[in-house]
Amino acid sequence: MVSARPAVAAMPVYRPGRNPADLAREIGVDRAVKLASNEVAFPPLPAVVQAIAATAGETNRYPDNGAVVLTRALAERYGVEPAQVATGCGAVTVCQQLAQAYNDPGSSIAFAWRSFEMYPLLAQVAGARAQQVPLVPGTPGGAADTHDLDGLAAAIDDTTRVVFVCNPNNPTGTAVRRPELERFLDAVPAQTLVVLDEAYREFVTDPDVPDGVELMRGRPNVAVLRTFSKAWGLAGLRVGYLLAEDPAVADAVRRTQVPFSVSSLAQAAAVAALASEPEVRERCAAVATERARLTGALRERGLPVADSQANFVWLPLGERAAEIAAALEARAVITRPFAGEGVRVTVGIPEEDDVFLAALDDVLTSAPVGAAGA
């Protein structure tokens, strides 16, 4: 019998958030609300729809493998050279390209935990060791929800080729500030690549949370990872990108890219989205306003919700996380549980969040906040 590599056979299967239409049919309701995958609730930007329509007639041809137009647009947007930019089929694929480019068996990838759930899987596929550094409480006596950058720096050894710093962190929404992050970057050895994963950067409102592109400048071992899936509303088209201070880093990522992996529709849509940045900023401001309302409502219910800088909030429900998420799902609200730790809830439109809050009230009536491990 043909068998997969043991490391691959042992990997857990990635489970995306449930389809709301499927859940609605299953439990017999007209509509379910999905607040599980950190998508924006706004429809595609008008310019994006126009670009997709204009490009649809060209899909009999392969896309531009170098994504030249998109790469130039990104380079102009961030004030870098095109050689410093690499694109990929979503940020997670760019992460995989990084692992393939820099990790051999026996090397390691370091990251905080809990953080983006693909990091340990990337290490597993590459045959590398995962160096997981536990989160620490962001507030005295609070839940462990914030990067321990000193601990992460101490975990780096001669085998560490790549370090991921997810800022804001997924799934907790917390972010590290400039002094701590600068001190960390200065402490990392020159032969270790630090990737600032800023998938949610556009939702940051705290002025003390630095823009990774600014910190990247002058540091050849620092790169910034971003995506069009969140704020830019292109989750269904899959476009991520890397900005690297050292062009050799971007070149290594391009070399591990699967040819033609960013479709022509995706490239056209991303270019159109960049040209619509003022509208995107308005949408992000609306998300931030609703995030503040949702956070306040949850705190009024006795839940110790940390300040989030992303488009989601984190409920540190401990051992009750999976149970409460299942109870919410039975009430037609889909969230993202992390068993034994907490539940991540995407910031939706006000009507969706009100449905969630009503369902949560119903759940907490039978499971008081204190008993929920909060």
DSSP string, 23-50: HHHHHT-S--EE-SS---SSPPPHHHHH
C-alpha to C-alpha distance for 352 and 288, rounded to whole angstroms: 15
In CATH terms, 47-275 corresponds, of 3.40.50.10420, 1.10.10.10, 3.40.190.10, 3.40.640.10, to 3.40.640.10
> Residue 11 pLDDT > 90, yes or no?
no
pLDDT in tens, 66-111: 999 999 999 999 999 999 999 999 999 999 999 999 999 999 999 9
Mean pLDDT of 202-231: 98
Cβ distance 319 to 76 under 8 Å?
no
Q: pTM for the full model?
A: 0.95
Judge contact between 259 and 66, C-beta under 8 A.
Answer: no
Residue 285 per-residue DSSP state: H
- With CA atoms as reference, report the closest residue to 161 among 138, 128, 203: 128
Q: Is the dihedral of CA 350, 14, 117, 322 positive or negative?
A: positive
Cis peptide before 168 (omega within 30 of 0): yes
* Residue 371: band (very low, low, confident or very high) from pLDDT cuts 50, 70, 90: very low
Contacts of 358 (CB under 8 A, 6+ apart): none
Dihedral angle sign, alpha carbons of residues 243, 248, 251, 256? negative
CATH fold label, 6-44+278-372: Aspartate Aminotransferase, domain 1 (3.90.1150)
What integer best gives the mean pLDDT of the chain?
95
CATH 3.40.640.10 segments of the chain? 47-275
Mapped onto helix, strand or coil, the DSSP state of residue 70 is: helix
| The pLDDT of residue 330 is above 80 | yes
162-207, pLDDT tens digit by residue? 999 999 999 999 999 999 999 999 999 999 999 999 999 999 999 9
HSE (side-chain half, CA atoms, 13 Å) at 89: 14
CATH 3.90.1150.10 positions along the chain are: 6-44+278-372
